[in-house]
Structure formats: structure tokens, C-alpha cells
């Protein structure tokens, strides 16, 4: 019986496809593996560091940094679920089976969509903190940021469950073997409305919101004087009492800090828009042309842009944020410092502890800007086709 099935299978192979199994060119394999390993390696290490420095450093736990942790976790998912499977896929086609096809596709879209929502969230948080500073005292808090992040992950997790019903494995029989691919269960015409919904919710709308809100933020920070209520809170005194030299210095420090944070987050949004643009443009163009444009090297370029978007944010934080830069350096040598602290006298350990974890933990935007604790003027630091990204 098994011999008859094997004979039938061989006959089907001759009827279905008389060609040999296609193999990716060697240069494509080498370039794909090298770039993917480089970008994903750097991105995974960087995003893990972002999560660790925020969770392990009290003064880094701010509302904006909570959103950056959410963004870092989402980027990790993209790099692990989209980047790493691409290495095996370019060498040996799909090797993860039906279950892997469902789960990996789901995780790809989950990471992509959560990263977009996280960017939108910290953009809105920055707008409230700067343009509505009094309301920010009650709205821009760590506890509220955590609740918003939880809601984002729950909503996106439920939204992305549709991909469990939209993808499937497909087998193509050749004369020298069978090629398994992870593709769409539905036809291209049925998939396009789903894609455009995803495209609108997680690319177009976030960019429109970011453009409008950063325009308003820029107007406040770079084109207008700092609102008087911020000047009062930054100095910690009433305007009727007069501004001392230290008050003026604190106010200038507040403005400088806000500008630095806004510039850093604006760069993250701009890179998100630019690095996702090649792939988004390709899918839109392919929706109106037949046959679709599937140049191998351009597809590779689109993938690398997506991986880069998930890997570059920690580098931006390191370049543009002194607090993140110092925290990264401390994290790299934390094990050595911990061992040294264990063998030092208790009084030395106490001094180090107080200087590192003192009372400068910002809880809200307003508390960070308050002149009651000068140390709080430190900076608050504070992206679809599955086949195209994996």
C-alpha cells in the first residue's frame, strides 16, 4: 500500500511540475544572512538593554520610558519572529511547519502593530506634558502609562488573532523534492482590504497624529516662550516673588531638557516613517499592477529596512540621551561593580546606594519639573506582508 502511494506521489510530481526545485543564488544567501544577523544581533542586544536599564534604575521609570520599554519589547518580537526565520528561509525554505507558520506570522504582526501604537502613545504623552502641563500632573503618570500599555497589548493581541485564520502552509512538488512555503489562505483580492485596514490603523493614522502633535509641540518649545505656569513650576516660586538666578537656570534647564527629549522622540517617529515607507509603497503599488513587482533585491532591501527600524531605536537613545547613555554604560559594568560593592565596607555601599537611588525618582511630568528637588531637572527620556518581512 505504501509503495502504491509513493508511486502515485511520484506520478503527481511529474504531472504537477517537471522542473527542479529552485534555489536562491549564493550571493543572495550570503548577503541576507550577513545583514540579518548583523542587524538582528545589534537590535536584540540594544532592546534588551533598554528594558533592563529602565526596569533596574528607579529614576529611569518615567511615563515616556514606560512607552519606550513597550516599544523595545515589540521590536524584540519583530526581530525574533521576522528577522531570524528569514535566515533559515533563504537557505532551506520554510522549516517551521504549520504551527510555526501561524505563530510566527501572528508574532510578526503583533510586534509591528504594538510598536506603532507605542510610538503614538508616547507622542500623545509628550504633547500633553508640554502643551497642557497642568493636566499632565494627573494624566502623565507612570501608573496611567502602564494601564495604557496593557490596553495596547490586549487590543493588538486580539486584533492580530485574525492571522491565525488567514495564513497556511503550501506545498509545491518538484522533480527533486517538495518546497513548503508559509503563505496566505485567502486570495490576493480578499487579502487587500485587510491589508489596507492594517495599513491605515498602524501606519497612516499614527503618522498623521505624530505630524500634527509634534507640530504643536515644536510651536511651544521652539517658536514660543515656555508657558508661564511651567516657568513657575520649574522655578518652584511664585512670579510675584521674583525669579532668582537659580530659578532662571532651572527654567532654562527645563526648556533644554524638553527640547532634547522631543528631538529624540521625533527622530524615532521619522525613522519609523522612512524605514517602513519602501515596503508600504511596494504593497500599495502591487495592489494595482499585475503581475506584482517582486524584484529579489528590492524585497531584500525592504526587509532590511524593517529590521533596521526595530534595531535602531536603542542607538538613537544612546546618541541623543545622556541619561540612557550613562545607564547603558552602568549596565555593561554592573556585574563588576556589584562584586566590588560586596567586598567594600558597609559605609561605602551606603554612599553608593544613596547617590544612585536617591529621592530623584520622577513620578509625574510636573514632579520632574518641580524646583523643589533640583536633581529632577535631569532628562526624562524618555512598522505588511508576512512574506516580505520574514
pLDDT in tens, the chain (390 residues): 444 444 444 444 444 455 777 777 889 899 999 999 999 999 999 999 999 999 988 889 999 999 999 999 999 999 999 988 888 888 878 889 899 999 999 999 999 999 999 999 999 999 999 899 888 888 899 999 999 999 999 999 999 999 999 999 988 887 777 888 888 888 777 788 888 899 999 999 999 999 999 999 988 887 755 554 444 444 443 344 444 445 555 556 666 777 888 899 999 999 999 999 999 988 888 888 878 888 889 999 999 999 999 999 999 999 998 889 988 988 887 655 555 554 454 434 333 333 333 333 334 444 333 333 334 333 333 333 333 454
- Nearest one of 154, 152, 150, 167 to 104, comparing CA atoms: 167
pLDDT reported for residue 15:
43
516660586: which residue's cell? 237
CA pair distance 256, 224, nearest whole angstrom: 14
- 246 is in which domain, residue-wise? 2-389
Residues making up the chain, counted from first to last = 390
CA pair distance 226, 258, nearest whole angstrom: 10
Q: Is residue 19 classed as helix, strand or coil in its secondary structure?
A: coil
pLDDT reported for residue 352:
38
**Under 8 Å between Cβ of 44 and 84:** no
CA pair distance 169, 171, nearest whole angstrom: 7
**Under 8 Å between Cβ of 380 and 368:** yes
Q: Where are the alpha helices (DSSP H) in the chain?
A: 2-16, 26-56, 63-78, 84-92, 97-131, 133-139, 142-159, 188-199, 205-218, 228-235, 245-286, 296-311, 313-320, 322-332, 334-343, 346-356, 365-369, 386-389
Residue 170 Cα distances to 17, 22, 71, 192, 350, angstroms: 15, 15, 33, 20, 63
Phi, psi of 364, deg, nearest 5: -130, 170
* The three three-digit cell numbers of residue 91, written as one number: 537557505
pLDDT reported for residue 121:
95
Helix axes 245-286, 188-199, angle to 10 degrees: 170
**Under 8 Å between Cβ of 118 and 67:** yes
pLDDT reported for residue 250:
57
pLDDT reported for residue 66:
96
* The three three-digit cell numbers of residue 125, written as one number: 504623552
DSSP state string for 28-64 = HHHHHHHHHHHHHHHHHHHHHHHHHHHHH-GGG--HH
pTM: 0.78
pLDDT reported for residue 101:
93
pLDDT reported for residue 155:
96
* The three three-digit cell numbers of residue 141, written as one number: 503618570
Domains contained in the chain, number: 1
- CATH number of the CATH domain containing 138: 1.20.1070.10
Amino acid at each position: 500500500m505504501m509503495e502504491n502511494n509513493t508511486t502515485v506521489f511520484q506520478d503527481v510530481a511529474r504531472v504537477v511540475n517537471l522542473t527542479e526545485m529552485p534555489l536562491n543564488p549564493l550571493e543572495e544567501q550570503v548577503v541576507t544572512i550577513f545583514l540579518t544577523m548583523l542587524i538582528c544581533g545589534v537590535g536584540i542586544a540594544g532592546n534588551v538593554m533598554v528594558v533592563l536599564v529602565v526596569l533596574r534604575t528607579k529614576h529611569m521609570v518615567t511615563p515616556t520610558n514606560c512607552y519606550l520599554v513597550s516599544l523595545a519589547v515589540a521590536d524584540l518580537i519583530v526581530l525574533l519572529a521576522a528577522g531570524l526565520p528569514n535566515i533559515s528561509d533563504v537557505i532551506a525554505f520554510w522549516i517551521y511547519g504549520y504551527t510555526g507558520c501561524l505563530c510566527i506570522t501572528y508574532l510578526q504582526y503583533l510586534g509591528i502593530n504594538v510598536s506603532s501604537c507605542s510610538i503614538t502613545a508616547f507622542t500623545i504623552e509628550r504633547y500633553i506634558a508640554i502643551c497642557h502641563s497642568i493636566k499632565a500632573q494627573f494624566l502623565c503618570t507612570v501608573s496611567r502609562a502602564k494601564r495604557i500599555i496593557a490596553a495596547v497589548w490586549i487590543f493588538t493581541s486580539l486584533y492580530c488573532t485574525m492571522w491565525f485564520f488567514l495564513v497556511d502552509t503550501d506545498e509545491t512538488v518538484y522533480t527533486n523534492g517538495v518546497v513548503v512555503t508559509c503563505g496566505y489562505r485567502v486570495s490576493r483580492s480578499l487579502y487587500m482590504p485587510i491589508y489596507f485596514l492594517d495599513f491605515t490603523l498602524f501606519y497612516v493614522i499614527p503618522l498623521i497624529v505624530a505630524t500634527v502633535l509634534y507640530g504643536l509641540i515644536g510651536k511651544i518649545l521652539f517658536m514660543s516662550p515656555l508657558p508661564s505656569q511651567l516657568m513657575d513650576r520649574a522655578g518652584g516660586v511664585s512670579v510675584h516673588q521674583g525669579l532668582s538666578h537659580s530659578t532662571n537656570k532651572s527654567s532654562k534647564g527645563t526648556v533644554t531638557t524638553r527640547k532634547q527629549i522631543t528631538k529624540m522622540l521625533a527622530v524615532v517617529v521619522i525613522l519609523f516613517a522612512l524605514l517602513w515607507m519602501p515596503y508600504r509603497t511596494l504593497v500599495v503599488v502591487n495592489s494595482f499592477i499585475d503581475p506584482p513587482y517582486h524584484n529579489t533585491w528590492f524585497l531584500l532591501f525592504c526587509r532590511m529596512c524593517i529590521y533596521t527600524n526595530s534595531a535602531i531605536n536603542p542607538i538613537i537613545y544612546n546618541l541623543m540621551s545622556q541619561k540612557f547613555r550613562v545607564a547603558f554604560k552602568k549596565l555593561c559594568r554592573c556585574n563588576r561593580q556589584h562584586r566590588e560593592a560586596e567586598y567594600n565596607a558597609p559605609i561605602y555601599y551606603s554612599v553608593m546606594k544613596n547617590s544612585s537611588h536617591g529621592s530623584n525618582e520622577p513620578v509625574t511630568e510636573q514632579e520632574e519639573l518641580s524646583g523643589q528637588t533640583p536633581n529632577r531637572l535631569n532628562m526624562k527620556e524618555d512598522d505588511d506582508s508576512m512574506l516580505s518581512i520574514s
